[in-house]
Structure 1
């Protein structure tokens, strides 16, 4: 027996971080979640799986129009014609309280009740699936305690949308522990809600497949679902299916050897070329580049994020413009030690350095600075917000950090000029 376990599909959820840029792949961003889901359905048909499980967050909250539901019905129709049933559990994003639109689903689609745990049996396969959909967005009670006992003689699958307990970056919905899941004595737990892949194998096999398509730079790396194979002795094997159609990556470039902006741009180009060459597939990558290290280029980079971005875009155009997209360039460098004025130095540069150090801890000066800059930081057009990331420090009240960043960059730039 084989089945596909997917979760956190978030149909028609926008991909954030690229759409504001003129060079962004607009069509790909708009349709990425749909294309990924269509790929998943094609894999299910090609592999002739016995059924599919979707463990919550099929949708992304309220529909903007009925096209989201129509698309899902069309894809379910493909599975219906292939004789593949689908078992859907509603999570926090598609709970009854969140959904404003619903359509009649094809008869091969079975949705778990929101009132109490429900069991679906596939008698021909001797499979029992147990699940409880979210009725409200914020379900903070432990749902597992009410799940039924396993059906004797059947392969039992628990379907649950949960953050589990402890350490999750996601909202703590339907909290429970791994030990509780094992104690239920189901053979397999099909989980959803956490967007990263995870697996525990002991009394039960417990799996988060991760989300189907990364939607922003916080969801880096390969994304997809899992193909589960169950032998005649009920041994379980789990194979990852990488379905995403655009992949987010974070690349860190050490600028220590560089002394100019051009050299930094070339180092970024080399790192991005290595990323493309190492990729196992031709899936396009959306990349955030962070420049780090103590470097002689620190002063020249000061305030020039927009120019560096243009230089990196030129490198990308030469490498593989159809497989590589730039989300952001972030400068996090530091000056070389000799760029800071020596403690015994007595000149205008040392005086300026001392004044700026004092300013970092002067509440009166920092308040005055915030009053002067807050209107600009709040009302600046989005293009300016992106090209001057220091404005975020003003909006967040981080004026000491702003002064520190300015001191570091300005002093390094003046020292280089000297």
Structure 2
């Protein structure tokens, strides 16, 4: 696990039990003082479990209670070190907050620490009597008490309310990944309002009929494919139904025919799950990164042109052929209203002009409404500023 977790465990223990207690924890778990909490270091899970097991043994409290205590402290600590405004602005209600945790994990992994960590996934449903049914998926079985601590503390600190949390289901299954087999745990929590509240609700208010436009949708298929040029719609078997127009610039027309299995065209980089309908639905709040399996079509055309012509004109850009040119897409999955189809709303995962050119693309390849344009230009400005200095 990431070193920040070790550091926050360290902070929790010295505040609660003192420095001597932490020294004993390190001695029992086999850590050298000062090397157990390097924030940017990645520790094996076994090291983290050893720390928590030592805390449990020395404090004489169950391991599950240590994890739950840690979940509550994690919110307290992150708000202390400057994350409070971000946490308070994530959502106006608890359900929206929990549904946003996947994207927050992605931001922390890829932007803050520039890592590719294996985080959990959260998905909420509205239950009876204004309750929340929270589905928690993780490749690290046994950490579910952290969720209880996190939810209670977020409800108290961010939404000024108490909540009651019960576990209504817990299952484990073996999942076959490209990297091998792993155990995935699925825990279901029921979250209800407690006694203390300020009139807030843990779920968003329902839409009234007046909130919905009952008029005819004025967007036809051609308009939609132009407005979202990289989108993909698949059926329950994860076979193509519809794609955006610009995907034809990077993937052969034969592969983009309706009925082609999605897994034949793409491999999934994130989240680390099998690419099938049920798993996608379980991780529906995650940021999805898909990578084209075959060589991008524009690069193939350039290669063929290069074989025919010994020289390239000055107006063309010479793009080296590398495996890094397999186009990546980043975006979100959404379950359509019929519950039988998924739509992948996405953009090319490029952050700089060199990356853009590698795929034979230009800024005009991005719709004006796509913030990827701004990201590329901001990065270019940053690089220019560095060169000037």
TM bucket normalised to smaller: under 0.3
State the TM-score, normalizing by the size of structure 2. Answer: 0.23
Structure with the larger helix share: 2
State the TM-score, normalizing by the size of structure 1. Answer: 0.22
